[in-house]
Amino acid sequence: MEEIFLPVGDLESLQDSTAAIGRDAESAASRLALPQVAAAMPGSAAAPNAADTADALRVATTHLTQEYTEFSNKVLIAIDSFAQAEDKMVATYQQLAGQRALDSATIGILSPQFPTEE
């Protein structure tokens, strides 16, 4: 088990960070004025380019946000899976430790006690 070392909070921190990146990207894209630029230039040759750029940015940002959200959700699943595996391992160790203690006690009770010569 020494090969697996995850400091407490590392996965949670990763999950929080990735979720925040997705939210921040979406928020930053919503603050950009590209859609307003296209609307403010009716009839301009640049208006379609501004509108296309705004649409491309919206699509890319939506995709990026979805990717970060999916990754963040997968990290949550990994956290839960790791916690369940850890709980099972602890229960198994406790069961084995309890069984060994019980076996030792049983062996002590069932073993004949012969006097030793000194």
Q: How many domains does the chain have?
A: 1
- The structure tokens 């979406």 sit at 26
Q: Is residue 95 part of a domain?
A: yes
Alpha carbon distance 49, 56 (integer Å): 10
Q: Is residue 5 part of a domain?
A: no
Burial class (CB in 10 A: 0-12, 13-18, 19+), 68: buried
3-state per-residue secondary structure call for 46-97:
HHHHHHHHHHHHHHHHHHHHHHHHHHHHHHHHHHHHHHHHHHHHHHHHHHHH
pLDDT tens readout for residues 15-43: 888 888 878 887 777 777 777 777 787 88
Predicted confidence band of residue 1 (pLDDT cuts 50, 70, 90): very low
pLDDT tens readout for residues 50-92: 888 888 888 888 898 889 889 888 988 988 898 899 889 888 8
Q: Which domain holds residue 17?
A: 10-109
Q: Is residue 1 part of a domain?
A: no
pTM of the predicted structure, to 2 decimals? 0.58
Q: Is residue 87 part of a domain?
A: yes
Q: Is residue 60 part of a domain?
A: yes
Predicted confidence band of residue 98 (pLDDT cuts 50, 70, 90): confident
Q: Is residue 26 part of a domain?
A: yes
Q: Is residue 45 part of a domain?
A: yes
